[in-house]
Amino acid sequence: MAETTHLIGLLLGTEEDWPRAFETLISRLGTITDDSGHRHRIATERITIEPFDLRDRPRYELVIDRLAYWYYVPREWLKKVALMNDVYLLNSPFTFQSMEKHAAYCAMIRLGLKVPPTVLVPHKDPPDNSRFQYTAARYNQPFDLAAIAEQIGYPLFMKPYDGGQWIGVSRVRNARELERAYDASGQRIMHLQASVEGFDVFARSLSIGPETMVMKFRPDRPMHERYEVAHDFLTPELGDEVLTISRLVNAFFRWEFNSCECLVRGEEVHPIDYANASPDVALTSLHYYFPWAIKTLVKWCTFCLVTGRRPRLDLDTRSYFEIGDRDDLGYAEKLAAYRRLVDDYFEADRYHDFCASRLAHVDELVLDWVDSGDFDRLLVETVRATYPAHEQERFVAHLRGLVGQWVNEPRPDGVPGPTDAERSEAQS
Ligand SMILES: Nc1ncnc2c1ncn2[C@@H]1O[C@H](COP(=O)(O)OP(=O)(O)O)[C@@H](O)[C@H]1O
Ligand SMILES: [Mg+2]
């Protein structure tokens, strides 16, 4: 019987935890047989960085990239393999390079989502460009920052238009703080954004292909406590709305591995942050949710490779805007219409059928491994690499407790498989 081996390339920075988990699970996946009886194996390899001929043929069929957002040699290599060799990328550097948070805000506002009022202001300090002074003197309109802020209302958030990791983000309560924050912003281009005050839930969702885990997030806690293990913290309707928004942003920009932040106040969902080229999947922050994340990454990559899913570099913005621009549709109707486009883009039905028929063993495989000494070693080594010596014991116990909770979670019908939380969050 014919057999094909598909190679996944990992483009990594400093992370060791999830890559090792991913490599281990892929190596235990075994052979997957497709509908025609053809057998498939998946292998992984870490990609090294070196000169490359633009005509080289890469050995990888799919690349998970965690580096190219910051490091431009691999970024340009990714563009080459996407354009020339149809390599499947999580994620596309094309849209991540040009469509940062600001572009996502713009698209989502046009699609009718409840992005808080947001104004972009020119940078405080001039860029290092000798011609700028001339251009600025001629074309830059003076503006009254305080008046813009008054219009938005205090408190507001000042944050980089392309931000990440909370760098340069400040909550501004009055004109004095406004001035200070703007002075500190230097050459960065900033948004002023109305604050969603007194929200009930900060929902941070991680999406991988057509699956999404909506998690309750506590931004004011230390990193290891930010994701609370909580279920049913949103009504089914609000949960579904958050999930649709997260997948909508992804399908729109062809992002397949991304996190999205929504602030839920009363019945209203306000998306505030949704372009994370390299979403957090660290064991130390995701803890209980870590097995779900790695398992889903394994399933989605396997689905793409075995079914020969074609990577899409083109955007299909027009189909979304045709819905967003309609006056005869309300918000909920638009979301439902986007959802059909999104499910279609991610081949949601085909993916879930594939998981049920070809990857039925994966849930048990992951459960067994996460319950093993091998996983525990990874946990201990990750803690050692992350925390100072005097904190390690406490963090090992903390993570063992939370991961143990996932392992021992009651599963429907008692058989290994998704937990109730995974079922409701991931598959609705
Ligand atoms: N409009 C807003 N209303 C309330 N809180 C906000 C708002 N914008 C940002 N924040 C807070 O600031 C944090 C960082 O802002 P965010 O846009 O997520 O930037 P980053 O891309 O750096 O994560 C958010 O996690 C949230 O706690
Ligand atoms: Mg954020």
Coil, strand or helix at 54: coil
If you measure from the C-alpha of residue 96 to the centroid of ligand 1, how many angstroms do you get, rounded to a whole number?
19
Which residue reads 């001629």 in tokens? 138
Distances in Å between the Cα of 299 and the Cα atoms of 149, 167, 329 are: 46, 33, 35
Helix (H, G, I), strand (E, B) or coil at 97: helix
Pocket of ligand 1 (CB under 6 A): 116, 157, 159, 163-167, 169, 193, 195-196, 219, 261, 263, 272-273
Task: Let me know: does 316 contact 218? Beta carbons within 8 Å.
Answer: no
CA of 412 to the centre of ligand 2 (A): 34
From atom 25 of ligand 1, which residue's Cα is the shortest distance away? 219
- Which pTM value belongs to this model? 0.95
- Token pair listed for 360: 């039925």
Report the alpha-carbon angle 421-427-428, nearest 5.
95
Give residue-wise pLDDT tens across range 295-350: 999 999 999 999 999 999 899 999 999 999 999 999 999 999 999 999 999 999 99
62-65 and 39-46 as β-strands: parallel, antiparallel, unpaired?
A: unpaired
Count, residues in the chain: 428
Nearest to 369 by CA among 107, 125, 14, 28: 28
| Across 44-65, average pLDDT | 97
Q: How far apart are CA 145 and CA 247, in angstroms?
A: 35
End-to-end CA distance of the chain: 37
User: 3-state DSSP call for residue 417?
Assistant: coil
Q: How far is the CA of 164 from the centre of ligand 1 (A)?
A: 9
Three-state SS for 9?
strand
Task: Take atom 10 of ligand 1 and give the residue whose Cα is closest.
Answer: 157
Answer left, alpha or beta for residue 214, where phi above 0 means left and psi between -120 and 50 means alpha: beta
Q: Which residue's CA is the closest to the ligand 1 atom numbered 2? A: 195
Residues 67-98 have pLDDT tens digits of 998 899 999 999 999 999 999 999 988 887 76
* Strand arrangement of the beta sheet that strand 88-90 belongs to: 32-33, 39-46, 3-11, 62-65, 88-90
Which atom of ligand 1 is least distant from the CA of 219? 27
CA–CA dist 337, 325 (Å, integer): 12
Stronger pLDDT, 99 or 53, i.e. the higher one: 53
Distance 259 CA to ligand 1 centre (A): 13
Q: What is the pLDDT of residues 171-227, one digit of tens each?
A: 999 999 999 999 999 999 999 999 999 999 999 999 999 999 999 999 999 888 999
Query: Ligand 1 center to residue 115 CA distance, Å?
Result: 12
